[in-house]
Structure 1
Amino acid sequence: MHYFKITLLAAAMAAFSLTPAFPAFADEPVGTDVTVVEAGTSDTSEDSVQDVVQDVQESQETSGSRESKGHRASVVGEEEYISQGPGVQKEEKEEAPAPRETSLGRFTITGYCGCEQCSGGHSLTYSGTVPTPNHTISADLNYFPLGTKLKIDGTVYTVEDKGSFVNGNILDIYYGSHQEALAKGTYTAEVFLVQD
């Protein structure tokens, strides 16, 4: 029975000690007096332990059925909280303006790859980047500085390279293999300057 009293007292103390940790759920002001029953003292009686147990049970019954003011406020404003977020005004999402495209006319389009025959064994572009299919294009840097975006047949390429035979209205598209570059061959297409 003595072990039971100490265990019961420890449970009661734990319940009361959690109240200050979570003041939003406290039924009474923080600092509620608790009767301490020490093991092995002659003052310990079953009545004092039962009083503590009864107080703990009453406290748990009333706190379990009641919500704190803070919790109640968050439930009431839940829809508003979800729609606007915590402290943030809902803003209309602005769509980025579509890039402006300007026709530059018809250009002669050729192709190259990273092989020895096409690139002389260079693994980097003139700008220092690794060439990428459907992205890298070689152009006359007197007309199109590095980083210029050009749209050809629906694909936007970035000028990252220059070539010894790429002058004026000739553009050289980078392909993943020599076979792809040969298969596409030389053709003419309308070229658009893409500006953000």
Structure 2
Amino acid sequence: MCRRIFLSVLFFTAVLLLKVDFFDSYALPLKGDIEVQTADGSNTVEAPGIIVIQDTISGEGGLETEGVQDIKDDRINKAAQEKQADTDVPLQASSQGTAGEESCGMFEITGYCSCELCTGENHFTKSGTAPRPDYTVAADPDVFPLGSRIRIGEIIYLVEDTGASIKGNVVDIYYETHEEAVANGRYEAEVFLIRGM
């Protein structure tokens, strides 16, 4: 019991110190209408009771509600453009990437899961989170530090884990089952580093 309490305190301390954001969004209760600047120029969105605030490139919050797909605030867009112009390293786009992405070249893509064969008895990532399919990857921290966002194909992953055999140009994608990990692992793909997220 004492060990469990100690590990819980240690985990939450690490989360607070590392400022880990598990879902990049927060739900807030809301009554009535909210005032926002939307893409079509209207400024009133009827909220069904909950709004979701998500991080944007500029680090400020944008608002999304059910039924509203794209809410843009000119001030946020201008701040993001100014911030991008002030950076020393310009954002590069490869022939297949988009602005804000940098091609890191071809990587060996492997798969892993939470079974004892893949991870032993530890079912948490190096960053202290529970791994999630289509979200968590393990990478060499010298290539992609923990917290980096990378794109493989059409999916953007978060580097939350490392591994003893993950060195150099290898990315290990987390899958729900061992069968999926074996079936989808061991191929080469181009990996893009997402900048500014």
Q: TM-score, structure 1 length as denominator?
A: 0.51
| Aligned residue number for residue 160 of structure 1 | 160
| Aligned residue number for residue 93 of structure 1 | 73
| Aligned residue number for residue 107 of structure 1 | 107
| Aligned residue number for residue 180 of structure 1 | 180
Letter in structure 2 aligned against 1:167: K
Q: Deviations over 1:1-22 (max 9, x none)?
A: xxxxxxxxxxxxxxxxxxxxxx
Letter in structure 1 aligned against 2:104: L
| Aligned residue number for residue 134 of structure 2 | 134
Task: Extract unaligned runs of 5+ from structure 2.
Answer: 1-41, 45-71, 81-97
What RMSD in Å do the two structures reach over aligned CA positions? 2.1
Partner SS for 1:138: strand
Structure-to-structure mapping, 1:13-92, within 5 angstroms: none
**Partners of 2:43 and 2:160 in 1: how far apart?**
44
Letter in structure 1 aligned against 2:156: V
**Cα offset, 1:106, TM superposition:** 0.5
Letter in structure 2 aligned against 1:149: R
**Partners of 1:107 and 1:145 in 2: how far apart?**
16
Larger strand proportion of the pair? 2
Question: Which 4+ stretches in 1 moved above 2 angstroms?
Answer: 92-99
Relative to structure 1, the CA distance from residue 128 to residue 190 in structure 2 (aligned partners, 3 Å threshold; closer, same or farther) is: same
Q: Deviations over 1:2-61 (max 9, x none)?
A: xxxxxxxxxxxxxxxxxxxxxxxxxxxxxxxxxxxxxxxxxxxxxxxxxxxxxxxxxxxx
Relative to structure 1, the CA distance from residue 84 to residue 157 in structure 2 (aligned partners, 3 Å threshold; closer, same or farther) is: closer
8 Å contact kept, 1:99–1:194: no
**Partners of 2:120 and 2:73 in 1: how far apart?**
48
Partner SS for 1:107: strand
8 Å contact kept, 1:149–1:158: yes
Task: Extract unaligned runs of 5+ from structure 1.
Answer: 1-82, 86-91
**Cα offset, 1:121, TM superposition:** 2.1
Relative to structure 1, the CA distance from residue 99 to residue 160 in structure 2 (aligned partners, 3 Å threshold; closer, same or farther) is: farther
| Aligned residue number for residue 116 of structure 1 | 116
**Cα offset, 1:84, TM superposition:** 7.0
Q: TM-score, structure 2 length as denominator?
A: 0.51
Letter in structure 2 aligned against 1:126: K
Letter in structure 2 aligned against 1:159: V
* Bigger Rg over Cα: 1
**Cα offset, 1:192, TM superposition:** 0.2
| Aligned residue number for residue 189 of structure 1 | 189
Relative to structure 1, the CA distance from residue 99 to residue 125 in structure 2 (aligned partners, 3 Å threshold; closer, same or farther) is: farther
**Cα offset, 1:139, TM superposition:** 0.4
